[in-house]
Structure 1
């Protein structure tokens, strides 16, 4: 099984990816771990791309969490058996990011690089509410939904996500 999870920051992509990885007993690639090195320093793009390419080439099944177009996005979408788009409302995403911040404050989550302690600063809040929902970003999602409609699941809230998970795990 190959599953690509895309969507807005704070929507729960990483949590879902972890749960699916455990259920299917397959490797999970968190693209934030690729994008950043320790202390939120951006990794060199070529070495980051090489890491993603190696992961894609070496695994017959996978879960990939993240939106980064520069990391073989088209290949990921093509190869995925299912594409999950986490289309949660912006205020829900902000609330979930805040809850995550409280839970992991001063700690590093599994889905990010070592020593990337959880943060919720103005820049990230702005990303969740505005910049991450720019016309360009929305158009990328719309394009994906249209191109891969035969294998995409659009989840707009936790209830839909829970129902989808239940259905997926019964297959």
Structure 2
């Protein structure tokens, strides 16, 4: 496992799990939001996104936290493992709502120094909360189809609860710096 894609619905914990996997396995983690959003929430153009993702995926070792439709083909062509987070809607939306509230209140910087705002997060038809509802069924269907497809080009692990995530992570080799010292 040297090239890992963490995939799931919005709010399922992809970025958190991908970062943890990177640390645990000693692999570089790449936040896809950092590659697809510039400061000021300016979306990066499709060709530049593809170039940036292609550069990451051309390396031998990586963990990424998403696969947007306009460049999904790039990581899937090289992925060794897809870790699918297939959490129930109530769980993923609850996480997303809580995370968004904390980000807005604390003005926590996100990708490339961007911040979520009350207006954009709660009052906009383009908010991440609205996006969760627009994309949930489609992403879940895709994830389950990949898992059911015996010809899918990479190993796929489907995790359906935080407990399953923790159990699976605990079974992985620990290459965290200093882990062998314990």
Query: Which bin holds the TM-score, normalised by the shorter protein?
Result: 0.7 to 0.9
Q: Residues 114-169 of structure 1, C-alpha deviation per residue, up to 9 Å, x if partnerless?
A: 232135325322222x21124x4344323322243861111111001001111123
Q: How many residues align?
A: 164
Select which of 130, 136, 139 maps to 1:137. 139
Distance 2:130 2:100 in 1: 15
CA distance in 2, matches of 1:43, 1:168: 35
Alpha-carbon RMSD: 2.2
Listed as ranges, the gaps of 5+ residues in structure 2 are: 176-182
Instruction: Please tell me whether Structure 1 or Structure 2 has the larger radius of gyration of its CA atoms.
Output: 2
Give per-residue Cα distances to partners, 1:84-143, cap 9 Å, x unaligned. Answer: 11111111111111222243331213xx2x232135325322222x21124x43443233
* TM-score normalised according to structure 2 size: 0.80
- Tell me the SS of whatever aligns to 1:169: coil
Q: Indicate the SS of the match to 2:83.
A: strand
- Extract unaligned runs of 5+ from structure 1: none
Report the TM-score when normalising by structure 1: 0.84
1:116 to 114, 117, 121: 114
Q: CA deviation at 1:7?
A: 0.4
Alignment of 1:1-171 (within 5 A): 1-57=2-58, 59-71=59-71, 73-105=72-104, 106-109=107-110, 112=111, 114-119=112-117, 120-122=121-123, 123-128=127-132, 130-134=133-137, 136-145=138-147, 146=149, 147-148=151-152, 151-169=155-173
